[in-house]
Amino acid sequence: MNDQLITQDGWLLPVVSEDSVAFWEGTRAHKLLIQTCANCEAMRFPPRPMCPKCRSLDCKWVESCGTGTIWSFVIAHPPLLDAYAKVSPYNVIVVALDDDRLIRLVGNLVDSPGATLGSLSPGKVEIGARVKVSFDRLNDEFTLPRWTLI
């Protein structure tokens, strides 16, 4: 629902749909919320209108414990969009959440809470590492979840 796709600094912003508004409201309040079926309690991601297990249209948003394990990652090198190229090489990780190992979030490992993309030396990332969520404010509307080593 945001028309803006990119910040003044050149960072891409999430293109929010009605299915995901609650997720981004959550991160703005420094909460990692996962869509959960109000009928059968199954968590699901990415957000969608219907629960694929019981077909209920009723959902709630449950705060994640905020910890997980690195499932996989890449180290991105140019060519990249300008803002990203400037901080490259940087990691992109996929985190399997402790709440439900099939909920896997794409994110970045950073060297401390609040630190930005590319702040961690690429050699420090490995599959299986334990991580914890932190939050990085991009602008008034968007705060991205990022991750630090536990």
Please, which residue, 105 or 131, has the CB nearer to other proteins? Answer: 105
* Of 31-39, 44-52, 56-64: span binding other proteins (CB under 8 A): 44-52
Cα separation of 36 and 11, whole Å? 29
Instruction: Render the burial of 2-25: b for 16+ CB within 10 Å, e for the rest.
Output: eeeeeeeeebebeeeeeebeebbe
Check residue 12 for interaction with other proteins (CB under 8 A).
yes
Give the residue, chosen from 127, 137, 139, 150, that forms a contact with other proteins under the rule CB under 8 A: 127
Whether the CA torsion 104, 102, 74, 147 is positive or negative: it is positive
16 binds other proteins (CB under 8 A): yes
Q: How far apart are CA 2 and CA 84, in angstroms?
A: 21
* Contact predicate 95/105, CB 8 Å: yes
Residue selected from 89, 100, 115, 148 as contacting other proteins according to rule CB under 8 A = 89
**Under rule CB under 8 A, residue 117 binds other proteins:** yes
Tell me: does residue 84 bind other proteins (CB under 8 A).
yes
27 near other proteins, judged by CB under 8 A:
no
Residues that bind other proteins (rule: CB under 8 A) add up to a total of 40
